Amino acid sequence: MAISPFEERYVTEMNAIFDDRNKLRKWLEVEVALAKTHAVLGNIPKDAAKKIESAAVRVSFERVKQIEEEIHHDLMAMVRALSEQAGDAGAYVHLGATSYDIEDTALALVFRDAVAIIEKHLGQIANTLKTLAKKHKKTVCIGRTHGQHAVPTTYGMKFALYYQEALRNSQRLQECKKRILVGKMSGAVGTMATFGKNAFDIEDKVMKLLGLEPASVTNQVIQRDRHAELISNIAFVAAMLEKIAKEIRNLQRTEIAEIAESFSSKQVGSSTMPHKRNPHKSERVCSLARVVRTNVTVALENIALEHERDLTNSANERVIFAESFIACDYMLVEMRKILDGLEFFEENIKRNLELTNGLVMAERLMIALTEILEPGMPRQEAHELVRKLAIEAKQSGRHLKDLVKEKIKALHPKTIDQIFDVASYIGEAERIVERAVSL
């Protein structure tokens, strides 16, 4: 039975990246790179490196766990298992290294693969948002501020906004990689004392074999500000997905009902209310975002390790790295499904534009009074006049346009009709969308 829902319920291809067996493979990859480097530099026999490389393939996960149960040290269990398989070359396994030379360097390899998956799925989301922005750049809807009707906008604007945020998150991850894809081969407290006079050469060659950059200075571990930055960037992605999901949830409310998640013919919304059509996928995205954000706090607290290192980061990192990446990837996959199946209810969109009987055009009316009348009405005076008319319209239940025609004779009725045409009051929305999606 699985303890964590990330083992069974919220599963993506990311799970394989953070699986303990894959972690073992990465550890072995670093050990092999170290052995090859020692052989090239003449520190160990060349055939010893070949034997270690061959032995790494034969190391079983089960044997490593068996040894770990005896010695209570997971990395050293791998070293012993590899040494067993390497025969006489086992004497050269892990030469000069400390545990976190292997673990932190291998972690960078894991992060490289994990970030690549996030980037792939984030790119897919960006493409979907771009398509939706272009498709709906003329779909006029009411804009809302403070939960209240404001002035018209378009659905294209909404999706273009999310698209640009997705691009920024991609940029953040790309920028972050140069600080997270680093390794170390610097020994117990980072002085390289165990590697002798060729220490820099050893570290450089190992990292070159692995496709990483060497950290310029470490103590026993690679510094955790790097990891905290990465988890923060993953949380940025999660927060963006929550933003989109929350908007969908709100717009799917019964009283609004402008858009909705897709709903299959056999899908059940409630165990007791057969009529329910709940935005449960979007709610799940919002729920998991809270988990990812919480993990940022833990990652930040891991920065301040004592002296040259302590183990207070170790246990929680077994949780927060896998959990954050798997949760974020699951959210990306879910959000793409949500967006691909999103339903639009155009009649409700139009209905909501007129819900306030023209009050949402009060801003346009105020501006018209300052620009059209001869002489133009002072802005503050126009604001006060329209404010009083809006209050009267709301209290009486009359359309603001009718009151304006009745009380502001200086404006021609056709001009008033144009002022209250909601579809024509979206400014440069179409061009803004085109500009945003062209990048």
Q: Find the mean pLDDT for residues 283-287.
A: 97
Residue in the structure block whose two tokens are 């502001």: 408
Distance CA(151)–CA(202), nearest Å, equals 64
- Is residue 122's pLDDT more than 80? yes
Q: Which amino acid is at 223?
A: Q
> Which DSSP state fits 139?
-
Residue-wise pLDDT tens digits, 40-85: 999 999 999 999 999 999 999 999 999 999 999 999 999 999 999 9
- Is residue 275's pLDDT more than 80? no
Distance CA(74)–CA(323), nearest Å, equals 20
- Mean pLDDT over each residue of the chain, to the nearest integer: 94
Q: Binning pLDDT at 50, 70 and 90, where does residue 279 land? A: confident
Q: Find the mean pLDDT for residues 168-172.
A: 98
At residue 105, the pLDDT reads 98
Q: Find the mean pLDDT for residues 393-417.
A: 92
Work out whether the CA dihedral 265, 268, 274, 276 comes out positive or negative.
Answer: negative
- Determine whether 275 is exposed, middle or buried from the number of CB atoms within 10 Å of its CB (0-12, 13-18, 19+): exposed
Q: Binning pLDDT at 50, 70 and 90, where does residue 273 land? A: low
Residues tagged active-site: 146, 270
Strands 213-214 and 182-183: parallel
At residue 78, the pLDDT reads 98
At residue 281, the pLDDT reads 94
Work out whether the CA dihedral 211, 213, 219, 224 comes out positive or negative.
Answer: negative
**DSSP codes joined into one string, 100-137:** HHHHHHHHHHHHHHHHHHHHHHHHHHHHHHHHHHHHTT
Q: Find the mean pLDDT for residues 242-250.
A: 97
Length of the chain: 439
257: closest CA among 386, 359, 140, 348? 348
320: closest CA among 347, 338, 293, 339? 293
- Is residue 198's pLDDT more than 90? yes
At residue 376, the pLDDT reads 79
At residue 7, the pLDDT reads 87
At residue 290, the pLDDT reads 97
- Helix (H) or strand (E) holding 212, with range, is none
- 138 in Cβ contact with 207 (< 8 Å): no
Q: Binning pLDDT at 50, 70 and 90, where does residue 129 land? A: very high
At residue 140, the pLDDT reads 97
Q: Binning pLDDT at 50, 70 and 90, where does residue 339 land? A: very high
Residue in the structure block whose two tokens are 């404001």: 150
- 152 in Cβ contact with 140 (< 8 Å): yes
336: closest CA among 244, 264, 258? 244
Q: Which amino acid is at 341?
A: G
Instruction: Say whether 77 sits in a helix, a strand or coil.
Output: helix
95: closest CA among 46, 53, 34? 34
Instruction: Say whether 236 sits in a helix, a strand or coil.
Output: helix
Q: Model's pTM, two decimal places? A: 0.93
- Is residue 318's pLDDT more than 90? yes
Q: Which domains are seen in the chain, by residue range?
A: 15-95 (1.10.275.10), 98-261+279-354+428-439 (1.20.200.10), 359-419 (1.10.40.30)
Q: Binning pLDDT at 50, 70 and 90, where does residue 375 land? A: confident
Cα 62–chain centre separation: 35
* Token digits of residue 249: 């949830």
Q: Binning pLDDT at 50, 70 and 90, where does residue 278 land? A: confident
Residue spans of beta strands (DSSP E) within 215-258: none
Distance CA(320)–CA(303), nearest Å, equals 14
At residue 264, the pLDDT reads 60
